[in-house]
Amino acid sequence: MEMFLKRWKNKSDSINIADKIADLKKLPVPDHVAIIMDGNGRWAKKRALPRIAGHHEGMKVVKKITKLASNLGIKTLTVYAFSTENWKRPQLEVDYLMKLPEEFLGTFLPELIEENVKVQMIGQKEAIPKHTLNAVEKAIRDTSENTGMILNFALNYGSRAEIMLAMKEVFKDIKNGIIDENQLDEQLFSNYLMTDGLPEPDLLIRTSGEIRLSNFMLWQLAYTELWFTDVYWPDFSEEHLLQAVFDFQKRSRRYGGV
């Protein structure tokens, strides 16, 4: 984080997060940040703890990063909470992961409402346990009138499945005469994705040292800036998010141009 910290090298050691936020907001911040929150299990194993302890610690980080992202002026924060492939994990771990949204939203929802954060979700609802879905849908209802940052949970989400479902809907609408196949372009197809109404991510963050997308927003990430860190998600700090935004601001986004 040397580049980021160098900006404040001549300032007091007591400089706080609010000062750093104010400094970063002098330049455009990403409208949409997506995070693959990886490394909870390895964080726990390193400490001789059960994997679920890592997931519980990671939940605390989501709260902290959500608040910071909102204060930074980020308009949408998408967090990859559970993938379509995560069902392959041990049943005990899956059951615990499906309880986390209840615990997270049960304790954090009043703050989300106070912070004017709006909760949304992408993913296939059918396989999600009722108690989990009820907690998420309650948060969506209770924050539906909020006008601040969108906290978007990717829950039972897989990008390939999303694209296949979108294709089926497109074919159905063509067959029923709702759209003409000659109308179909990238923008129209995007309207059939689960992220319809959301901007494509400007910045993707992945923790834990893995350098891959893991079936996450494959269509939407076509021109997203990627930022990887070796830090496990439970150790991901406010300074790490500030560093990622700082690095984003240093990049030139040409979208294929010059």
Domain encompassing residue 134: 27-158+201-215
Answer whether residue 252 is part of any domain: no
CATH assignment at residue 34:
3.40.1180.10
Matching residue, tokens 């940040």: 33
Answer whether residue 182 is part of any domain: no
Answer whether residue 72 is part of any domain: yes
Cβ proximity of 208 and 54 under 8 Å: no
Q: Is 86 a catalytic residue?
A: yes
Copy the structure tokens of residue 210.
């893995």
Answer whether residue 172 is part of any domain: no
**Amino acid at position 224, single letter:** T
Copy the structure tokens of residue 21.
């936020």
Sign of the Cα pseudo-torsion (207, 208, 211, 213, in order): negative
How far is residue 12's CA from residue 185's CA, in Å, rounded to a whole number?
53
Answer whether residue 239 is part of any domain: no
CA proximity to 96, closest of 140, 37, 40: 40
Answer whether residue 103 is part of any domain: yes
Total domains in the chain come to 1
DSSP string, 100-129: HHHHHHHHHHHHHHHTT-EEEEES--TTS-
Residue pLDDT tens, the chain, 258 long:
555 555 544 444 446 888 999 999 999 999 999 999 999 999 999 999 999 999 999 999 999 999 999 999 999 999 999 999 999 999 999 999 999 999 999 999 999 999 999 999 999 999 999 999 999 999 999 999 999 999 999 999 999 999 999 999 999 999 999 999 999 999 999 999 999 999 999 999 999 999 999 999 999 999 999 999 999 999 999 999 999 999 999 998 776 665
* Three-class DSSP category at 225: strand
Active-site pick, 31, 71, 86, 142? 86
